[in-house]
Amino acid sequence: MALKCGIVGLPNVGKSTLFNCLSSAKAQAANFPFCTIEPNLGVITVPDERLNKLAEIVHPGRIVPATCEIVDIAGLVKGASKGEGLGNKFLGNIRECDAIIHVVRCFEDDNVVREGGMAVNPVEDKEIIDTELQLKDLETIESQLSKQQKVAAAGNKEAKLMVSVLEAYKEVLEQGKNARSVEFDSKEEQQAAHDLFLLTTKPVLYVCNVDEDSAKTGNEYSRQIEQIAAEEGAEAMVIAAKTEEDIASLDSYEDKKMFLEELGLEESGVSRLIKKAYHLLNLQTFITAGEMEVKAWTFHKGWKAPQCAGVIHTDFEKGFIRAEVIKYDDYLRYGSEAAIREAGKLGIEGKDYVVQDGDIMHFRFNV
């Protein structure tokens, strides 16, 4: 289950610096590599300290963490919705992503000119991008609406449903709000809304790019964005991209850790960002652990055991019999599967078991 996040932001906000830091993420936690598919696309692993802890017990041949794709989407300027800059390509790239990482400039630097040469204004920067995406969504809505209204007039029930969905979106977009603020009650409406693939329905993480002194607590600019994010029901975080670049340039893991401690940080901003991006879509991890490998598997929060079995192989879901479940803390406490069984801590779960983040799973199936 691949997660694809697009990094967006106006020119000179630190977007590419952040992407370059992500490309060095393997140095943040020893076993988590990064590979570049093309210049603006990378597959990056989700840091998960639990895998290393389990590997110390199991001694597997390899560790396989969960992954997500990060795309550095270039070309957004004011007017992108009308094709300015690389507008059309930019908007097409966003459409392919599951979530948006929106980088906002929250630092002062006379050597880095803000687009248009104006004073730093993170709220206005955010609104420029929001407006471009909203305008593109409105264009999509209006082109669909006229077609669906004609079909609905002929009595088509599906078209009538789609018209009501389109009109609900049109109303909020014309008010300068994002489409994600609209909620639908019925499954039919939710499916129709999903099939539109609107840009502003995608979950967003606002990344406030601050100076080094503000890396731990943020600043006045970042607090403005955090407040807006809270009002929107979105997530926000603070990161000092230039400082992350300095951390990434250090040779050893120990040096990086020392640098972070000096800043009063427990882990790098890049590591926190990857984890937040992974959880942005309500994703969690279950683990399989054996001599061959310790592996993280991605699933949607709330999934039951057969659905998670299907993540490994469709046959596992079709022929699901039961799941043997070990809690992560129990694995660490008892030190082996045999000791866990002896202590009566191995859970035997059926089809209705809701898998929890960090569960160590073994599926029994028959096809």
Q: Annotated binding site: which residue ranges? A: 12-17
For residues 294-324, b (16+ Cβ closer than 10 Å) or e, as one string? bbbbbbeeebbbbbbbbbbeeebbeebebbb
* Coil, helix or strand at residue 313: coil
The burial class, CB within 10 Å (0-12 / 13-18 / 19+), for 274 is: buried
| Helix or strand (DSSP H, E) at 239 | strand 235-239
* Alpha carbon distances (Å) from 300 to 37, 199, 280: 26, 21, 11
Q: Residue 206: name the closest of 129, 283, 132, 140 by CA.
A: 129
Joined tokens for residue 79: 């007017």
Pairing status of strand 41-45 against strand 67-72: antiparallel
C-alpha 236/C-alpha 20 separation (Å) is 20
Pairing status of strand 235-239 against strand 204-209: parallel
DSSP type of residue 349? E
| Helix or strand (DSSP H, E) at 287 | strand 283-289
C-alpha 235/C-alpha 208 separation (Å) is 11
* Coil, helix or strand at residue 12: coil
Show binding-site residues for ATP. Answer: 12-17
Q: Between helices 241-249 and 15-22, what is the axis angle to 10°?
A: 30
C-alpha 42/C-alpha 18 separation (Å) is 12
Joined tokens for residue 336: 């082996």
